[in-house]
Amino acid sequence: MRLLIYHTIYLTLPLLFVSTALYAQIDHYETMVYADDIWSYRVADSEAPSGWMQPGFDDTAWPQGQGGFGYGDGDDNTIIPQSNGVYMRLSFDVIDINAIETLILDADYDDAFVAYLNGVEVARSNIGQVGIPPAFDDQPDSYHEAVLYDGGTPERYVLDDNLGTLQQGSNVLAIHIVNYSANSSDLTGRMYLSVGVNHPNQVYGTIPFWFDVPFDFTTSNLPILMVNTGGQTIVDEPEITAQLGIIHNGPGNMNSTTDPFNEYDGQITIEIRGASSQSFPKKQYRIETQTDMGENNNVSLFGMPAENDWVLNGPYSDKTLIRNVLSYQLGAWTGRYTPRYQLCELVINGEYRGVYVWLEKIKRDNDRVDMAKVTPMDIEGDELTGGYLMQIDRDNEFINEGWYSDAGDYPYFYALEDPEYDEILPVQRAYIEDYINEFEAVMTGPNMVSEYEDYLNVGSFVDYFLVNEIGKHVDAFKLSFYMHKKKDSNGGKLHIGPIWDFNLAYGNFDFACDPSPYDWIYPCTSPVTWLDNTLTIPAVQDSVYCRWTSLRETVWSTDNIMGFIDSVVLDLEDAKNRNFQYWDDVIGNYIWPNDYVGQSYEDEVNFMKNFLQVRLDWMDENMFGQGAVCSVSTSTEDVSDEWDITLFPNPMQDYLQVKNNSELDGVLIRIYTLDGKLMHKQALPNTDIAEIKIQEWPSGSYLYNISKDISIVQAGVLVKE
Instruction: For the chain, list the domains and their CATH numbers.
Output: 27-197 (2.60.120.260), 219-360 (no CATH), 641-720 (2.60.40.3080)
Q: Taking phi first (over 0 means left), then psi (-120 to 50 degrees means alpha), and beta for anything else, what does residue 169 get?
A: left
pTM of the model: 0.75
Q: What 8-state DSSP symbol labels residue 422?
A: G
Residue 355: partners with Cβ closer than 8 Å, 6 or more residues away: 222, 314, 315, 321, 343, 344, 345, 346, 572, 575, 576, 578, 579
**Binned average pLDDT, 10 residues per bin, the chain of 721 residues:** 38 32 69 97 96 96 96 92 97 96 94 96 91 95 90 89 93 98 95 95 95 84 94 86 95 91 97 88 96 95 95 98 96 91 93 95 94 93 94 75 74 88 92 94 93 94 97 94 94 94 96 96 91 95 93 90 92 95 94 97 97 98 89 37 71 84 73 76 79 85 72 71 72
DSSP 685: P
Looking at residue 9, its pLDDT comes to: 29
- Which candidate, 511, 515, 568, places its Cα nearest to that of 320? 568
Q: What is the pLDDT of residue 347?
A: 93
**Cα dihedral sign for 313, 319, 322, 327?**
negative
Which residues have CB under 8 Å from 555's CB, separation 6+?
Answer: 333, 703, 705, 712, 715
Residues in Cβ contact with 457 at an 8 Å cutoff, skipping those fewer than 6 apart: 491, 493, 494, 495, 496
How far, in whole angstroms, is CA 241 from its chain's centroid?
18
Q: What is the DSSP letter of 581?
A: H
Whether residue 499 contacts residue 338, with contact meaning beta carbons closer than 8 Å, is answered with yes
Indicate the DSSP class of residue 426.
Answer: H
Q: What pLDDT score does 5 carry?
A: 45
Q: Rounded CA gap, 46 and 43, in Å? A: 8
What pLDDT is stored for residue 631 in this prediction?
56
d(CA 196, CA 683): 59
Q: At what angle do helices 558-571 and 601-622 cross, to 10 degrees?
A: 160
> Across-strand partners of 456?
494
Position 719 scores a pLDDT of 78
